[in-house]
Structure 1
Amino acid sequence: MPWPSPATTPPTHPKSGAAGLTSTATSPTDGPAHNRGVSAPSPGLHPARRERPEVHAAPAHGPLLAGFLTGGLVAPAWCTSWRNDATTIVGPLLGLPEFPYLDLPRPEITTSHPNGYLWKRDHVEPWLGGSAVAWVDDDFTNLDHAWAAERTAKGTPTLLVQPEPHLGLQPEHLTEVITWVSQLPRARVA
């Protein structure tokens, strides 16, 4: 299911059931959730294919992400050109529950940085509105990091976590998100 913008639908804190400041964590599937750049599947990686390039999913990422999500500190969303396939193909391959995805368009581009920054940002930014975000992607540029710093300076906490493309998501990336989210001020619940 495409996820409505957190700017128009306040997130509900999963433990209290009350609306409050819950950060959104976005992640692509085609970078951090697998090891990119491998010419053949590495031992222990599971290939997934559906009208797109093969992805070699690292099974260890499933329990890593599942453990991260049980903390209830973030509202997860896939932010990938895989769209719904992230939740119906890659998620089950990793043993993850279904969670929402941002319904990105299919742009006619030849680079992921047609304007010098990650193309997804043009769609993520209005979707987020004024919501805090921890965004995990392996394809940010310096312009993306400058955008995050400016957004944070204007009062909207923004964390970009950039795994090494050939290594993918690591426990320290999720530790960085947990540490960052736990330091955010919480909205008072009436």
Structure 2
Amino acid sequence: MLLLDVDGVLNPLRRPSRDFQTHDCPVDGTLYRVHLNPKHGAELLLLAEEAGAELVWATTWEHAANEWIGPRIGLPELPVIEMPIIGGRLAGPAGEMFKTPHVAAYVAGRPFVWFDDLTGDADEDYLRRHPGVGDFLLVRVDPRHGLLPQDLALAREWLTAAGKGS
């Protein structure tokens, strides 16, 4: 599987290059301005096809990613890992991000690459210790630039090295 975050990955935090288009996306009464590169969709679809992997949203945008993000970069509707923030906590007891337990439950032993800008050592430790999580690669995307060719190359190398497509 290829797990995709939006903010910091597909929507960089720094002013993007001319390859990006700006969109205003009203979600649940809040207007979000996002910068998206339409080329990312084709690159992710190609990577998924080459590796025999499934693309999955792993973002706080949750189902809104299928409405506002996917169509603007050429992705079809994707499965969504729901990411509720439980008890207002953004980090778990060992410092793992609030998304990490949701990802661990969703993957159910399937190999995966997770493109996110907020994962760190605590997330990697959590996933390695969690029963039912198999092989994985965390691709820590620089949120200033968003998803870059080297991030995709790292995922491609890992996925194809041992035939780890889903």
Calculate the TM-score normalised by the size of structure 1. Answer: 0.72
Structure 1 unmatched runs, 5+: 1-23
Compute the displacement of 1:155 (Å).
Answer: 8.2
More strand by share: 2
Q: Cα RMSD (Å) of the superposition? A: 2.7
Q: TM-score, normalised by structure 2?
A: 0.81
Against the structure 1 CA distance between its residues 131 and 66, is the aligned structure 2 distance closer, same or farther, given a 3 Å change threshold? Answer: closer
Aligned residue pair count = 160
| Structure whose alpha-carbon radius of gyration is higher | 1
Q: 2:100, 2:134 → 1: CA distance?
A: 15
Q: Structure 2 regions of 5+ residues with no counterpart? A: none
Matched, 1:30 2:7: yes
Q: Which runs of 4+ in 1 moved over 6 A?
A: none
Q: Counterparts in 2 of 1:146-161, with a 5 A limit?
A: 146-150=125-129, 156-161=134-139
Contact 1:37–1:165, Cα closer than 8 Å, also in 2: yes
Q: Deviations over 1:108-164 (max 9, x none)?
A: 536x4354221101111122222211111000122113334556xx98211100110
Matched-pair identity in %: 25
Match of 2:21 among 45, 54, 59: 45
Looking at structure 1, the residues matched to 134 and 80 of structure 2 have their Cα atoms a distance apart, in angstroms, of 21
1:184 aligns with 2:129: no
User: How far apart in 1 are the matches of 2:6 and 2:133?
Assistant: 29
Deviations 1:32-74 (A, max 9, x none): 1111244xx7644222312343222123322322322332521
For residues 31 and 76 of structure 1, the distance between their equivalents in structure 2, rounded to whole angstroms, comes to 18
Larger helix proportion of the pair = 2
Corresponding position of 2:41: 62
